[in-house]
Each structure stands twice: as structure tokens, then as C-alpha cells.
Structure 1
Amino acid sequence: MKSENAQAAAPPAGKPSMARVVERNIEALLKRQQEEDQQKCWQDRLADAVTAFTGSITFVFIHLVLFGLWIFWNLGWLGLKPFDPSFVVLAMFASVEAIFLSTFVLISQNRTAALAEKRAELNLQVSLLGEHEITRLVILVTEMARKMNIEAANDPEIPELAKDVQPEHVLETIEKKQEQMEQTK
């Protein structure tokens, strides 16, 4: 029974194995993404659909054909009576379209930026937790090394590494360094 489970969990031949925790994290992130997609209101879905379509080569080709026909027709090259010889209607149409398209793109970008900010916050929290855990491990391993009389336990950098990182101090330091760099420009 145990060997059957081991075979079921083993990756296919020729593929490297992945830690189960990585697979779990991927599944959790994908599930979260699906939940967020399902929670979108119809306006956000519309904005995403319009933005996706207008960012496609199909959209470009449709505009090349439509604008090309419009221009050829109104230059008289198709043998038809021009309906917009000064191209004022074409310019107005293109301007109105640009206003709406830019609005849809901005809506999508704003939501994407908000998601990126949430992910950055999550990344920061995970990094701070990891830093705290590593600090505790440094303290624990150093104490073990001292009890075992291992010379590396006396490394002068260890007390500095054993201090918890204070994010607000890091931010203050970054801001001060940036101000100093800007003043030297």
C-alpha cells in the first residue's frame, strides 16, 4: 500500500519532482485567483473583455480594414460617392473610440494595480515572517554551537544576525539614503 502511494506521488519519468508544499501553494494561489475572478462584477468583466480584445491583433486588423475602406471610399478610389470627404466624421469616431478605450484600459489597470499591491503586501508579510524565523534559527544554532564548542559560534557577525529586522527602521534608512542621493544630484 505504501509503495502504491509513493508511485502515485512520484513525478512522471523524466520530470523533476517538486516539493509538495510548492504544489500546495500553487493550487492555493490558483484557487484564490479563480475566487477573485468569480467575484468580479459585470463592469469589471466587461472592462477586462474590452481591454483583452482591444489589445489583440484581431482588433488591429479590423481597424485596418474599416479605416482603410472608409479612407478609400471617401477619397473616391472605390468609385462610390464620398460620405465623409473631409474625414471629420472619421476623426470624431476615432476620438470617441479612443476616449472609451483608454477608460476601459484604465479601469483594468487600476484593478491590476490593486491586486499587485495586495500581493506585494502578502510578499512583505511572508518575507518578514521568514526573516523572524531565520533570526530565531540563528540564535538556536549559535547556542548549540557554543555548547558544542564550535569556533564558528564566536563569529562577530552572529549577534548582528540574531537581531530581528524592524521594517520601519529599514524604510526610514531607505528614505534617508534616497534623500541623500537626491541632494547630491
Structure 2
Amino acid sequence: MSSTSAVSGKPRHPAYVAVAEKRAADVQLKVADGITRFAGSMMFVYVHVVIFAVWMLVFEKSPWPTLTLVVSLEAIFLSTFVMIGQNRQASFQQAKADHDFTANEQELHTNTELTQQIHVLTQELHRQLCKPATPQG
């Protein structure tokens, strides 16, 4: 498993790579990610401004009841995509936390072993350097 992003080539956290690969393998999640990405862009705002302006000015004499219905339905679906995005972020954060915990535990174990070895070597060095003087006779 590579720890770099296919898009940017920048190094990525291994947990991010694992979650991204899992999400990329699921078509439904890829569609949800695409919709969420578009819905969170300024292009989404511009498209809606144009569509609603044309609708209200050209096609409907009294657009408010239908517009209210459409906007309410869209808000329901968009809030679902927001929650999907939050779930994705939570999944990544949990995977990262798990990975970091494991790495930190390994680091702690290594540091403890090194500290113990340094202690043993220091005691041995102290014993060698501080030998009691033998009486000269």
C-alpha cells in the first residue's frame, strides 16, 4: 500500500490512504463523495443562482410554492450528503487515531528498551570507572 496520494503525489498518512482506498472501491461512496464535493463548491452556488433566477423570471408566474418545495427537498438530500461527509471524516479520524496509537505504543516500547539498555550500560560504565582502589603494598 502506497502512502502517497495518487492525485497530488504528496505523502499521506497511512490511515488516510487506507480509508481513501476503501471509499474508492465502493461506487455508492464515490458518487456520494462527488456530489458532496460539487455541493460544497462555488460552482454549485452559481448554478443554483442561474437556475432559480431563470425559473422565477421566465418559467413561473408564481414560483414560490414550487420553489419552496424544491428547495426543501434539495436541503433534505444535501443534509444527508453532509452527514455522509461527516461520517467519512469520522472514519478517517478514527483510523488515524488507531494508527497513531499503535505507532506511539511501538515508539514507547522502543524507547523503554533503549532506556533500560542505557541504564545497564551506565551502571557497567560506573562500575568500571569507580572500582575501589586496591591497596598498594
How far, CA to CA, are the matches of 1:38 and 1:66 in structure 2?
Answer: 31
Structure ranking higher on relative contact order (CA contacts 8 Å, 6+ apart): 2
**3-state secondary structure, aligned to 1:149:** helix
Counterpart pick for 1:143 among 99, 106, 120: 120
Counterpart pick for 1:51 among 36, 39, 50: 36
Matches within 5 A, 1:11-26: 26=11
Residue 79 (structure 2) aligns with:
102
- Distance change >3 Å, CA 28–CA 117, structure 1 → 2: closer
Residue 22 (structure 2) aligns with:
36
4+ residue runs over 3 A deviation? 26-35
Gaps spanning 5+ residues in structure 2: where? 5-10, 128-137
- C-alpha contact 2:23 2:29 (8 A) present in aligned 1: no
Residue 131 (structure 1) aligns with:
108
Instruction: Output the amino acid matched with 2:46.
Output: F
How far, CA to CA, are the matches of 2:116 and 2:22 in structure 1?
Answer: 40
Counterpart pick for 1:66 among 32, 51, 58: 51
**3-state secondary structure, aligned to 2:60:** coil
Point out the more displaced range, 90-99 or 113-122.
Answer: 113-122
- C-alpha contact 1:47 1:104 (8 A) present in aligned 2: yes
Return the offset for 1:38: 3.8
Gaps spanning 5+ residues in structure 1: where? 1-21, 74-79, 151-185
Q: Across the two proteins, how many residue pairs are aligned to each other?
A: 118
Q: Normalization by structure 1: what TM-score? A: 0.55
